[in-house]
Amino acid sequence: MAIGLSSIIPRLQMLSTSDHASVVSMNLFVALLCACIVIGHLLEENRWVNESITALVIGVCTGVVILLASGGRSSHLLVFSEDLFFIYLLPPIIFNAGFQVKKKQFFVNFTTITLFGAVGTLISCGIISLGVTQFFKKLDIGSLDIGDYLAIGAIFAATDSVCTLQVLNQDETPLLYSLVFGEGVVNDATSVVLFNAIQSFDLNHIDPRIGLHFIGNFFYLFLTSTMLGVITGLLSAYIIKKLYFGRHSTDREVALMMLMAYLSYMMAELFYLSGILTVFFCGIVMSHYTWHNVTECSRITTKHAFATLSFVAEIFIFVYVGMDALDIEKWRFVSGSPGTSVAVSSILLGLIMAGRAAFVFPLSFLINLVKKSPKEKINFRQQVVIWWAGLMRGAVSIALAYNQFTMSGHTQLRGNAIMITSTITVVLFSTVVFGLLTKPLIRFLLLHPKHTASKVQSDPSTPKSVTVPFLGEGQDSVPLLGEGQDSEFDLPEITRPSSIRALLATPMHTVHRYWRKFDDAFMRPVFGGRGFVPFVPGSPTEQSFRQGQ
């Protein structure tokens, strides 16, 4: 008995020490997140440095301190896990993007956004893959096969347009803001779907049959992932509309929305689909139907809860990337040939710029040939802004690189180590350098902002930021109201609510108009939504009606 206890006690002490170290690490990491929020707030007026740059810089500084304190053994508090990113951090970021999207602007420009976000991503991926295949073989960076080269194309085709979106004003440049935002979201989904498709095939023996199978698998993932997100969002709307959880507890409404949103993502992963695409369209459907079926308290709570979770997850990722940039284990593999690492990073940056230019300008030219109204056309200065907005690389590229080139969070081969360090270098350089140059570049290119900001701000029903995209119940009296407040063509004419109704009485001949007719006739009567929630005792409509009185 004594012998048994003597062998167990040291193990318990070791476990206790390990748990205590984890608690210390989490405390320090949470403190860093708080510091990022405080410093980001203090720098908000400047607008030269956004939260991404702030988090990266704080992460790098913290990594230096940890590296010195540990005697050069480590530079980070936590070990990166792809599961941590893809299961816990990425879903709230993508869902919030769909939940907060300006739906009318998104779908009015859906063709353009799809061309940039899907077709453009494929073109960019192809150019990057061809480029690295030619250049990396000459540099002899390690044992990379054709699957790795194609994966590199998908990794660096994923953009991060946060810096540009924080500088652009969606009221002054609604078309440009919509295109940059929409392309960024579709681009992330396309990159991940493409990356998953590449990993699921043996690409060492490529033939026409394999190529057709690959294309078919890509579109299958894209369409089925979208449908799963739409179905889950509609199911949540139907359940909440029929059962009226808010009659007894708003907490149940909020909990059900959050859990069903997360369920859509996990179901996509369960069936080997694209969780990003699924949760994004689930967010769009929930904002269109489910959000209007809950009580006013639940609307405010969910809107800010989703935005907060997304904000914290983004900061978490960039802080870790900043610390991991100084990971001595990875740099030890490339310390013998620093020139190779610099060359790889430079080649990747050049290919990213070339890949963006290869589709932004030609696709913009084709789009302008189809568009008839000058307001719908993309002028050259706007094309340059769109090109620049996609040069930054961020969290998705980091996560995909770790997924492809590491095992259990640690590099094992020289080629993998070079790719991880080069990815981190590209993300740091593009986010910090390109991010700092974004504001002066946009000021130079967009010299004459439209005189719409003062008119828009004079209308209290108009949202002032992407985090407040919804009208209250007070503007729901007109069934055809749709998402009219989001249109770049409607905004300049808005002077009072009656003018909105007059304008929306004869909407433009777009796909959105026909969808709205179908939505009003079939979808909203079943799934609810703005102006279509039945007046039933104890329902959200009754509560909103009483508040209005």
Res 204: pLDDT:
64
Kindly report which listed range (208-217, 239-248, 285-294, 485-494) carries the lowest average pLDDT score: 485-494
In this predicted structure, the answer to whether residue 283 has a pLDDT above a threshold of 90 is yes
Res 259: pLDDT:
94
Closest CA to 221 of 262, 193, 201, 188: 193
Res 296: pLDDT:
87
Res 185: pLDDT:
79
Distance CA 137, CA 143 (A): 9
Tokens matching residue 241: 């509309």
In this predicted structure, the answer to whether residue 10 has a pLDDT above a threshold of 90 is no
Is 391 within 8 Å of 434 (Cβ atoms)? Answer: yes
Res 407: pLDDT:
59
Res 333: pLDDT:
67
Residue range 199-208: average pLDDT?
69
List pLDDT tens digits, range 328-378. 666 776 666 677 888 899 999 999 999 999 999 999 999 998 887 777 789
List pLDDT tens digits, range 31-61. 989 998 888 888 776 656 667 788 888 888 8
Give the highest mean pLDDT range of 304-308, 376-380, 488-492.
304-308
Give the highest mean pLDDT range of 101-110, 348-357, 396-405.
348-357
Pick 320 or 335 by higher pLDDT: 320
Which pTM was predicted?
Answer: 0.75
CB atoms within 10 A of CB 541: 22
Tokens matching residue 237: 């709307």
Res 487: pLDDT:
37
Closest CA to 288 of 91, 464, 104: 104
List pLDDT tens digits, range 116-171. 988 999 999 999 999 999 888 888 777 788 888 999 999 999 888 776 777 777 67
Distance CA 9, CA 15 (A): 10
Closest CA to 82 of 275, 235, 267, 233: 275
